Amino acid sequence: MAFRVSFGKPPAEAAPSVHFRPAGNDERSRNINLLKARRFGAFEIATNLFHQVASLGAANVQVDRTSAGSTITVEVDGITHALPALDLATATALVSSFKQLAGITAQEVRWRQSGQFTAIIKNKSWECTVVSSGIPSGERTQLLLDAGKAEFANLAAASVSEPLQKRMRASLAAESGLLLFSAPPQSGMTELLETAVRDSDRFQRSYYLLENSRRPRPDIENVATRKFDGSTVTIDSLLRSIAKEHPDVLIVPEIDDAEIVDSLTSQPAQGRLAIGGVLANDAPETLLRVLATRCNARRFAGEVTAVANARLLRKLCVTCRQPYLPSPQMVMELNLAIGETQALFRPSGTIPGERDEPMTCPACGGLGYRGRAAVIQWMEVSDEMRATMLGSSDDHLQLLREQAAAAGMTPHLAEAATLAAAGITSVEEIVRVLRTPRD
């Protein structure tokens, strides 16, 4: 299956209706930017491209231009797809149109610059950021669509199973303790943490998010954001300042040094819940990643209560997915809770057209998938695991995994299999994402 986008000019009756609101301090300056953008020869191509990628849920369009030509890619649901090549002159005009809409200099190709514009399609708006910078022998331009928009409104929207939602909410409602969220790089750690916070009670309790000023994140409603930089404003000094405001919950999206860990683990003793994010392959490894910072190990082991480790799976396009009967071996390997006659679904990317000839599915652009779901490995930390963290075993990780499994850790694969049985994702997608399962 291939991502299908056309750069050609659509027929008049099918021309996309995109209303651009360019950058500018007032209506006059915005109109000037729009008029200038229209003068570039590829404005209709830019409009058509934006309509297609936005309608299909793309997050990023990247155009690289060098003396050898141009390459264009688009990211949809975490996967990068190559688009048909454009000649250099057309690619330059395309990029210039988006730059002008964003209020940045179209002719500048060496220095980094960025700007924003808004696009509206059928009463739905996209807040877009254009970022351009020089690369060897050319320029890279990125069009980021809704970079500040949350992927999931809550845990249910992330397709988390109801039993697991209840367990996670119970931990989020605790008066104290340390709750960790983790994932491998680019696998949903921050998305999961922020989704869980959005799903918690931010109206009856005061939430504070401590953010590294060099890695800003979108604001969360009813969560106060305070910034530190590690030099002029340290996390320890920030916590002392926040303590005067009597917070109930403190959040640090990225725990990557001992100072942050020790600052967070001092909070539960003061009657506060602490929440942090860690890059790790699975829940047991998360504990060792934190200990590797050389933090106060005894305090950390005593305060950490649970770990949620995430993966993001693509969801099947409901318009074109195709049913099939799985083999008994597949049902057994995935431990699927389905009957002998219940179908699973696989991606298609096409729908019947005229005379039943297959045509590209308009809902997913031929990918067979649309949107993402979270699969979560949930581990509650037992006293036995705390002892292992502080012990001298030769293989802490394997022992922690065994103890976690014995204590009822919810595996990634079990959650993923539930999604497959419900027709939300495919076995192929589960294999792609969990190809080296740690469950």
DSSP codes, 346-384: E---EEE-GGG-EEE-TTTTTSSEEEEEEEEEEEEPPHH
Per-residue model confidence (pLDDT) at position 356: 75
Per-residue model confidence (pLDDT) at position 36: 96
Per-residue model confidence (pLDDT) at position 219: 83
162-312+373-408: CATH homologous superfamily? P-loop containing nucleotide triphosphate hydrolases (3.40.50.300)
- Count Cα neighbours of 69 within 13 Å in the Cβ-side half-sphere: 6
Cβ-proximal residues to 112 (8 Å cutoff; 6+ apart), any chain: 131, 132, 133, 134
DSSP string, 402-426: HHHHHTT-B-HHHHHHHHHHTTSS-
Q: Round to whole Å and give the CA distance between 251 and 283.
A: 19
In this structure, are residues 345 and 322 in contact, taking their beta carbons and an 8 Å threshold?
yes
Domain with CATH 3.40.50.300 in the chain: 162-312+373-408
40: amino acid identity, one letter: F
Listed residue (253, 255, 274) closest to 265, CA to CA? 274
Domain with CATH 3.30.450.90 in the chain: 12-145
Beta bridge partners of 138: 66, 135
- The token pair at 392 is 């001298």
Per-residue model confidence (pLDDT) at position 394: 74
In this structure, are residues 253 and 275 in contact, taking their beta carbons and an 8 Å threshold?
no
Listed residue (52, 60, 58) closest to 6, CA to CA? 52
309: enclosing H helix or E strand: strand 304-316
Per-residue model confidence (pLDDT) at position 399: 94
CA 290 distance to own-chain centroid: 22
Q: Which fold has domain 12-145?
A: Beta-Lactamase (3.30.450)
Per-residue model confidence (pLDDT) at position 439: 42
Mean pLDDT by 10 residues, the chain (439 residues): 58 67 96 95 92 91 94 94 92 96 94 95 91 93 84 93 94 95 91 93 91 81 86 82 90 90 89 94 96 95 96 96 88 72 88 83 92 96 95 86 94 91 93 67
Per-residue model confidence (pLDDT) at position 6: 61
Per-residue model confidence (pLDDT) at position 18: 92
Per-residue model confidence (pLDDT) at position 120: 94
Per-residue model confidence (pLDDT) at position 106: 93
- The token pair at 327 is 């083999």
